[in-house]
Amino acid sequence: MKKLNVLILSSFIALSGCGTVAEMAGYNTAALNAEAAKSYMQIQQQAQAKQMIDTSSQTAKRIQTVFERLKPFANQANKTGVPFNWEMTVIREDTLNAWAMPGGKMAFYTGMVEQLNLSDAEIAAVIGHEMTHALLEHSKKDAGQKILTGLTMQVGTALLSSQGIGGDAVNLGASLLSDLGIDKPYSRNQESQADAGGLRLMAQAGYNPQAAISVWEKMNKVNNNNNAFNAIVSTHPNNNARIKAMQKLLPEILPIYNAAAKP
């Protein structure tokens, strides 16, 4: 009987997909987004208490300007059936990171811009990438996977498990971020999907998609992860692999940018 149950479950997984499993467990898009919004508010409150939310610096203003320019195209790309309430929080911290929760709740760390000396187009590449994670509901797929494998049934962990939010973010360490399970990386396939979607979004908004490549060239200088060991064990594509994949997409994406950039 146990073998039969395993066979049935395996067939169910193959037919349904992790996103569907999450929905059957009650983690539909609306519930996912609502839970993320609550968690996002907690992160904002803790960041605010530490005076780490940046609304006035030139870096923060640039990030918000690029974010607002990308938002209409992200809304057009939303195929979830539920409108997103996009929101960007800029955190004054040296972390080289940015992330998006379900429903479009986002954060961008000033260190990413200032340490890498990012142009507006490069900022757009990062934001577009993170927007795509949210639009493709990668967190819901991850929640379904965790439910199927029995790793967790807690809403906070299951729903928000793959945001790539650094454990040092807002000095929360292993507290809130760890409790929510949102300090873990996405899969290689999901990262590749986000790279491709981000290219399209930035091109539609009139930002040169070649800037996405220069972001990873800059990342190579501070975090070269291109050795053979990383290529095998990392959940993320290595930097050079991402660059090559995006270069292959440029012939398809550049006409979108050229059309958007015309006066």
Task: List residues with catalytic annotation.
Answer: 130
With vertex at residue 136, the alpha carbon angle to CA 130 and CA 139, rounded to the nearest 5 degrees, is 80
* Long-range contact pairs involving 58-64 (C-beta distance under 8 Å, separation at least 24): 59/90, 59/110, 59/113, 59/114, 60/90, 60/110, 62/113, 62/120, 62/123, 63/88, 63/90, 63/108, 63/113, 63/123, 63/127, 64/88, 64/90
Going by their DSSP bridges, the two strands 105-109 and 87-91 should be labelled as parallel
Pure H helices in the chain:
2-16, 18-24, 29-49, 58-76, 110-116, 120-135, 138-149, 155-159, 176-180, 188-204, 210-222, 228-233, 239-261
Torsion of CA 168, 58, 258, 136, to 10 degrees: 30
